[in-house]
Amino acid sequence: MKILMNAKPFEVAHEKLDEVLRELGVTSPSIATAINGTFVARSQRNAVVLKEGDRLEVLSPMQGG
């Protein structure tokens, strides 16, 4: 299935968000995720099913001042 992650195209074999993240090598526990602009809580990632063409955003916290 083809999706966009952070505006880049990817072909993935899995459908559930938590599995897709692992497939794409996103393993940090301190990330935020959104599908098509809607925030997905960490506790819900195993229940969210992606569809062809979905836009996945993965954001990492940044430090700075």
State the CB neighbour count (10 A cutoff) for residue 17: 20
> Could you give the CA distance from residue 21 to residue 54 in angstroms, rounded to a whole number?
14
Task: Please state the domain extents for the chain.
Answer: 2-59
Amino acid 47: pLDDT: 97
Three-class SS state of 34:
strand
pLDDT per residue of the chain (65 residues) written in tens, 0 to 9:
999 999 999 999 999 999 999 999 998 889 999 999 999 999 999 999 999 999 999 998 876 76
Query: So what's the pLDDT on residue 10?
Result: 98
* CATH superfamily placement of domain 2-59: Beta-grasp domain (3.10.20.30)
**Are 21 and 13 spatial neighbours (Cβ–Cβ below 8 Å)?**
no
pLDDT at 65: 61
